[in-house]
Amino acid sequence: MNWLNILWAEFLYRPVFNLLIIFLAIFWGNLWIAIVLLTVWVRLLLLRNTLAWAKMSKGMSNIQPKMQEIQDKYKDNPQKLSEETMKLLKKEGSAPLKGCLSMLIQLPVFIGLYFVVRKFAIWEVPNEWLYSFFFNFGNKYLDAQNVNSMFLGIDLFEKNSLVLTIVVACLNFIQFWLTSLTQKAPKPAAMPGGVAMPDMSKMMWGMNIMMTIMMASVVWSIQSWVGLYLATTSLFSVIQYLIQYRVLLKAKWNLLFNKNKPVVVESK
């Protein structure tokens, strides 16, 4: 084992493994509860960075007119264009890498969780990964036979779960739609020669459909616990956006369903 594998094991796989063991021990070996709680714990831990990403995304949408002005003004001076663009981003508090941290952290955590649960699935749980101070209550779950992998009649170690595939697809579609509410798609402009630019709002809907199909295919083709993980993290995002954008959603609702509602004028 080289030093890179040792680092991955000690700083990623082993902490995730022990946290999973704790949840298994508390909830009688139920793997689905352990995965859900671990996913929620990670999302809560990264909530601040996720909110920063949402704020940055909204800020980037709001400064699009200013960005367009800069591009028009300095279109013949690339260096000045780059300088003025960075100044605008700093002034508006929308540093490009500010909100990406949560996504970058979630990826290795998911990799660690995938590796750990895969070990349970093939009954090759590494005993040496368990911290010594967890051994008294956690050693029981080093034997994968003591882990309950069933969730609503679905074996989380098996593939091709239609229920989880549909749930993840629906949640992913809703999540993308809620995210797109804060994105102001630029109006189609004309390209040189009078050729019309494509409508970005339609492209965003097309991207949403493609992402939904891709997520559904992933969940269908891989072990069901991955679908449970993705469903949990997507549901967390949907609830977060419903709370975060509640004012905007209420305005959208009124625009769609109450636009022809008569106004009642009270007589004095």
Tokens 């269908």 found at? 220
Amino acid at 120: F
pLDDT score recorded for residue 259: 61
pLDDT at 129: 78
C-alpha 171/C-alpha 71 separation (Å) is 37
Long-range contacts (CB closer than 8 Å, 24 or more residues apart) made by 146-151: 146/29, 147/24, 147/29, 147/31, 147/120, 148/28, 148/29, 148/30, 148/31, 149/31, 149/32, 149/120, 149/121, 149/225, 150/32, 151/31, 151/32, 151/224, 151/228
How confident is the prediction along the chain (268 residues), in pLDDT tens digits per residue? Answer: 577 777 777 877 888 888 888 999 999 999 999 999 988 988 888 777 666 655 655 555 556 667 777 777 777 777 777 777 777 666 655 444 455 555 666 677 777 777 777 777 776 777 777 888 888 888 888 877 888 999 999 999 899 999 999 999 999 999 888 877 765 544 444 444 444 444 555 667 778 888 889 989 989 998 898 899 999 999 998 998 888 888 777 877 777 676 655 544 444 4
Alpha carbon distance 20, 129 (integer Å)? 12
Residues 6+ apart with CB under 8 A from 186: 64, 68, 200
The pLDDT score that the predictor gives to residue 36 is 94
Non-local (6+) Cβ contacts of 82 within 8 A are none
Q: How far apart are alpha carbons 205 and 224 in whole angstroms?
A: 27
Helix axes 14-26, 31-45, angle to 10 degrees: 120
pLDDT computed for residue 80 by the predictor: 77
How much is the pLDDT for 201?
Answer: 59
pLDDT value of position 221? 93
pLDDT of amino acid 138: 83
C-alpha span between 185 and 91 (Å, rounded): 22
**Among 152, 169, 255, 260, residue whose Cα is nearest residue 216:** 169
Report helix, strand or coil for 150: strand
Residue 76 DSSP one-character state: T
